[in-house]
Amino acid sequence: MVTYSPAHFEEPGVEVMHAPMQAQPLSTPVTMISSDIDANHIPLHLFHGPESCISPRGIPPFIHK
């Protein structure tokens, strides 16, 4: 999957991107459809695996052996 990211939003330093998630580990995306507002709380947990994998729930991804 290819996504467009403008140059002024690019951040090559992984540590810089991880710092806000570690400092504030709860995200609340808010959306509005018609006249309804919906807010969802999403915990942010980083998993630092052997290949720098990140899991949405902090659980290592399943690895076939």
Q: How far apart are CA 65 and CA 44, in angstroms?
A: 28
In-domain check, residue 2: no
In-domain check, residue 6: no
- Domain of residue 45, residue span: 21-59
The number of domains in the chain is 1
In-domain check, residue 26: yes
pLDDT at 44: 85
In-domain check, residue 65: no
In-domain check, residue 3: no
* pTM for this prediction: 0.50
In-domain check, residue 55: yes
Each residue's pLDDT, cut to its tens digit, for the chain (65 residues) gives 677 878 898 888 888 888 988 899 999 999 998 999 999 999 887 766 666 655 555 555 555 44
Question: Pick from 27, 56, 55: which is nearest to 42 by CA?
Answer: 27
In-domain check, residue 45: yes
